[in-house]
């Protein structure tokens, strides 16, 4: 009698998803920098609410804690690598698909931005969304993945809290 083949764990699927996010992020940056050559073009309107504009982010999210110089850059790389390690351990222990998907998004986005810091000295941001006189921060695919992943983790925490609360009450 043979047993059913093992299905890939959330960890394996999460690592694959994170890898695909890194690939999409790095391909988009390659296209923007090397093929389209956005830095030489300034602001390019794609749609009435969407521009391509080159911004070099030397800090963390939204340019916070900007690190001018090599020491700050490498400290951010080290800090982000440590976060990636924590997220990878969390992913390995994930028991719910939503949590694994969220962690894969965060991990893939973080790795994509680490690659930029190591290779380019800063994170390449180029997506600008705007409407009615308001402009959101310029970001990239890695940033979007991280933001969506964090939102999914918050959603999971709220939903699992409701389920636990209704089970108790």
State mean pLDDT over 142-165.
Answer: 90
Angle of helix 141-168 relative to helix 97-120, nearest 10 degrees? Answer: 150
pTM of the model: 0.86
Tell me what pLDDT residue 6 has.
43
pLDDT-derived band of residue 160, with 50, 70 and 90 as boundaries? confident
Q: Is 25 a catalytic residue?
A: no
**pLDDT of 168 strictly over 90:** no
Tell me what pLDDT residue 70 has.
81
Of the residues 25, 70, 143, 156, which is catalytic? 143
Instruction: Tell me whether residue 28 is exposed, middle or buried, using C-beta atoms within 10 angstroms of its C-beta: 0 to 12, 13 to 18, 19 or more.
Output: middle
Q: pLDDT digit string (tens) for 88-104?
A: 999 999 999 999 999 99
Q: pLDDT digit string (tens) for 6-22?
A: 456 899 999 999 999 99
Average pLDDT over all residues of the chain: 90
Q: Is 68 a catalytic residue?
A: no
pLDDT-derived band of residue 71, with 50, 70 and 90 as boundaries? confident
Q: Per mean pLDDT, which range of 63-77, 83-97, 118-132 is the poorest?
A: 63-77
**pLDDT of 3 strictly over 60:** no
Look at the alpha carbons of 121, 122, 123, 125 in this order and tell me if their dihedral is positive or negative: negative
Q: Where are the domains of the chain?
A: 10-58+67-162
pLDDT-derived band of residue 48, with 50, 70 and 90 as boundaries? very high
Tell me what pLDDT residue 72 has.
82
Dump the DSSP string for the chain: -PPPPPPPPHHHHHHHHHHHHHHHHHHHHHIIIIIS-GGGT--EEEETTEEEEEEEE-SSGGGTT---SHHHHHHHHHHHHHHHHHHHHHHHH--SHHHHHHHHHHHHHHHHHHHHHHHHSSEEEEEEEEETTEEPPPB-HHHHHHHHHHHHHHHHHHHHHHHHHHHH-
Of the residues 25, 34, 116, 125, which is catalytic? 125
């Amino acid at each position: 009698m043979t047993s059913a083949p093992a299905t890939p764990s959330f960890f394996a699927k999460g690592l694959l998803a994170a890898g695909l996010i890194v690939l999409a992020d790095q391909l988009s940056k390659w296209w923007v920098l090397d093929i389209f050559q956005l830095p030489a073009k300034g602001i390019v309107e794609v749609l009435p609410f969407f521009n391509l504009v080159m911004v070099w982010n030397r800090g963390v999210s939204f340019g916070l804690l900007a690190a001018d110089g090599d020491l700050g850059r490498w400290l951010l790389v080290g800090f982000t690598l440590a976060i990636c390690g924590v997220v990878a351990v969390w992913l390995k222990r994930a028991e719910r698909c939503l949590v694994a998907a969220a962690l894969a998004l965060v991990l893939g986005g973080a790795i994509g931005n680490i690659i930029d810091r190591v290779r380019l000295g800063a994170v390449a941001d180029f997506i600008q969304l705007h409407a009615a006189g308001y402009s959101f921060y310029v970001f990239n695919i890695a940033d979007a993945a991280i933001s969506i992943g964090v939102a999914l983790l918050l959603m999971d925490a709220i939903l699992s809290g409701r389920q636990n609360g209704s089970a108790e009450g």
